[in-house]
Structure 1
Amino acid sequence: MEDRLFRNAMGKFATGVTVITTNRNGNIHGMTANAFMSVSLAPKLVVISVGEKASMLEHIQHSGTFTVNILSAQQQELSMLFAGQIKDKRHVKFGDLQGAPTIEGAIAQVSCEVASTFIEGDHTLFIGRVKNIHIEDGEPLLFFNGQYGALAVGTTLQI
């Protein structure tokens, strides 16, 4: 099976957009990811998937923590910045959730401590034990078929 066919099929699954952040030795690092899901209610667990070539892999392995910042519909530029699609330097103001670095304005911030790690294929799955959560009102930033989108209130996905 060709890689492009697989990627196209996976792109048919609409997802939210997150920026994963971590603090390593006083330096905050982040990356855009849509490979995120909840795993368990008791205990409260989530999972993220990080590619083997991503610099974020080493940062999370070293820090043992990560925060999932679920982006609002107004944060597409931040998503592009942390995905490396915007190359020029930008100043990002980070927030703090009881010691965990967060993206200000995200509609949800979920700080975690790494509970388990699994290497599968060319990615590492980090299962995180949820430590703190902060929620804001707002609409989510969505990703479908290789494009950003947003919910139209009371209707369907608008791309």
Structure 2
Amino acid sequence: MTTTPSTPLATDTLEDAFRAAAGRFASGVTVVALRGPSGLYGLTATSFVSLSLRPLLVSVSVNTGSALLDEVRAAGAFSVNVLGEDQQAVSKYFATRGRGFSQDAFPGIPSRTEVTGAPVLDGGLAWFDATVEAILPGGDHETLVGSVKAAGRRDGEPLVYWSGGYRRLDPTDPGSPDDRIAPLSAALSEQLNASGLSPADLIDAQLALEPVAAELAAFRHDPETLAALRECMRRAHEAAGDPAAFTAEAVAFHTALGRASGNPAIRAALDTLVQARHRHYAAGTDDAATAHTNTAHQVIYDAIARGDAEAARVAMTEHLAVVRNGLGPRKASLTAAEQGVRA
């Protein structure tokens, strides 16, 4: 197939052609936010880049006339918030000229702090909390380079900006196998939970899947999924003392492990156990279980992070054996394979 190349109009200046060409690059939409000497301030930006993994750096370009630049120099920290498709109003607010500074909160836009003290907006697809590493000149813009101190994400679709307007991803795109299977997994999870999946059956299913998932995760050694596992552990530590919240974070670790495996079938199978895990784990969550779970998850993560597949498999199997004992009388002794690991 051939296409006709586009050309600038005869009356276009080079700047006009540049603007038109740059507008053809689709980008996500972010809000850069900070707390400076004058108060809370933020602006909408599409020039965000995840700059480096080692060290963790992000960058975003800001117009030299923006009030944000003097504030960020004084504050020494900022957040970058990646907006979801349902956050057009947030994007428009922070793109409005002359809105000034806020003192206690952005109007109608909840936020919180994580590590640096910069405001992190609630409801975004992702966020990066960073200290200022450098501010680099670049014509009529300056580029903030941030050293990332914390980050997080949620599921959802992004807000996209292209050719002067907001866009959405193609709704007819079938997506990845994970995307297509997810609704089926969620429905099956509900049905398994409603059918009264027993603790013994739950643990048997986990023993069949999760040691392999841990092993595959160690082989893959993927930075993004490692970060997701770390985030689950961080939140679990914060939730200690709150059984319901801790249970949710402990279950999230096991779910994240399915994603870390990189295998859509294993991920889908583990997703079907989510509701049953919530129900049975909650019944056994106490101080001792919390301490064991936090320690065991750290051991499993450490093995995955250093790429030790065998240690990851063993650590997960041993963790599930302890969990099984904590969920009540066992219907049967450990499987031969499990005994071999624990011998």
TM surpasses 0.5: yes
List per-residue Cα deviations over 1:108-138 (Å, max 9, x = no partner).
0101111112111011111111110011111
Structure with greater helix share of residues = 2
Matches within 5 A, 1:2-17: 2-17=14-29
Structure 2 residue ranges without an equivalent (≥5): 1-12, 100-105, 175-343
Q: Letter of the aligned partner of 1:121 in structure 2? A: G
Task: Report the TM-score when normalising by structure 1.
Answer: 0.89
Check whether the contact 2:37–2:74 (CA below 8 A) recurs between aligned residues: no
1:66 to 60, 78, 87: 78
Q: Aligned pairs, how many?
A: 155
Structure 1 residue ranges without an equivalent (≥5): none
Q: What is aligned with 1:81?
A: 93
1:91 aligns with 2:108: yes
Check whether the contact 2:109–2:122 (CA below 8 A) recurs between aligned residues: no
Q: What is aligned with 1:114?
A: 132
Change (3 A) 1:86 1:104: farther
Segments of 4+ moved more than 3 angstroms: none
List per-residue Cα deviations over 1:82-116 (Å, max 9, x = no partner).
001797x9432222223331111001010111111
Give the Cα separation in 1 of the matches to 2:127 and 2:141: 23
Check whether the contact 1:66–1:112 (CA below 8 A) recurs between aligned residues: yes
Q: What is aligned with 2:298?
A: none
1:131 aligns with 2:149: yes
Check whether the contact 1:67–1:109 (CA below 8 A) recurs between aligned residues: yes
Q: What is aligned with 2:322?
A: none
CA radius of gyration, larger in: 2
- Give the match's secondary structure for 1:151: coil
- Cα RMSD for the two superposed structures: 2.1
Q: Which has the higher contact order (CA 8 A, sep 6+)?
A: 1
Change (3 A) 1:86 1:152: farther
- Give the match's secondary structure for 1:125: strand
Check whether the contact 1:37–1:46 (CA below 8 A) recurs between aligned residues: yes
1:148 to 142, 148, 166: 166
Give the Cα separation in 1 of the matches to 2:125 and 2:151: 11
Give the Cα separation in 2 of the matches to 1:101 and 1:152: 32
Check whether the contact 2:33–2:42 (CA below 8 A) recurs between aligned residues: yes
Q: What is aligned with 2:313?
A: none
Structure with greater strand share of residues = 1
Give the Cα separation in 1 of the matches to 2:72 and 2:98: 23
- Aligned identity (percent) is 34
